[in-house]
Amino acid sequence: MTERQWERLGAAAGPIGVLFALAGLVATGATSNATARPARDAGTQVVVSYMSRPATATSSIGFACVLTGFFLILVFAARLWASLRNGAGGRDWLATAGLAGVVFYLSADITRFMFSDARNLAVGHHLQPAEAVAFFDISNALTPLAWTGIAMFLIPSALSAVRSRALPA
């Protein structure tokens, strides 16, 4: 493949990855009111019933879509990193900071998934009330951490793009 084809593939991976991730969230019921995530201060019984809900028939497909979407987003970020480094002559640490932000986000979100939704993939996922509440609380604690990763990607990448345009050719 030529460099131009790799750039196009990397650019297309971002929106396609977002679409896969959103499709996966819809398939797993994350956007459904029937399985709406309880408030952070919800009572123990509400949390236990949410965490013990049965997996739907499409849960596995939805989780696979989300993970595929995350992989494609990582491909997009790696291609963006390479483009920004090339634009700056290979000396741009901001591009690397942006890529680190994406890796940080994906790691935090996958860890959050392991504490909140992965138990649906196990057969007979019976949780004790204390376990359900602990997993729910850990998942809630990891959510802002995941969003911090997005800021870690967007801010350095934007600064790097602006700086690489300002550098003389």
Q: What distance, in Å, lies between the first and last C-alpha atoms of the chain?
A: 26
Q: How do residues 95-127 score in pLDDT, each as one tens digit?
A: 788 788 888 888 888 887 777 666 555 545 566
| SS3 state of residue 91 | coil
Residue-by-residue pLDDT tens, the chain, 169 positions: 787 888 888 889 989 998 998 888 787 765 554 566 777 778 878 877 777 766 666 777 888 888 899 899 889 888 888 887 777 676 677 778 878 888 888 888 888 777 766 655 554 556 667 766 777 777 777 777 777 777 777 777 777 777 666 655 5
pLDDT, residue 156, reads 75
The token duo for 157 is 């990448």
The token duo for 103 is 């890796």
pLDDT, residue 123, reads 47
pLDDT, residue 165, reads 66
CA–CA dist 164, 99 (Å, integer):
16
CA dihedral of 160, 163, 167, 169, whole degrees rounded to 10:
50
User: In the Cβ-directed half-sphere of 75, how many Cα atoms lie within 13 Å?
Assistant: 19
Closest residue by Cα to residue 70 from 25, 119, 126: 25
The residues spanned by each domain of the chain are 3-166
Burial group, residue 167, by CB count within 10 angstroms (0-12, 13-18, 19+): exposed
Q: Helical H runs in the chain?
A: 3-28, 44-51, 59-87, 93-116, 129-166
Closest residue by Cα to residue 28 from 61, 52, 50: 61
- With b for 16 or more beta-carbon neighbours within 10 A and e for fewer, the 21-52 pattern comes to bebbbebbbbeeeeeeebeeeeeeeebbebbb
Q: Based on C-alpha coordinates, what's the Rg of the chain?
A: 19
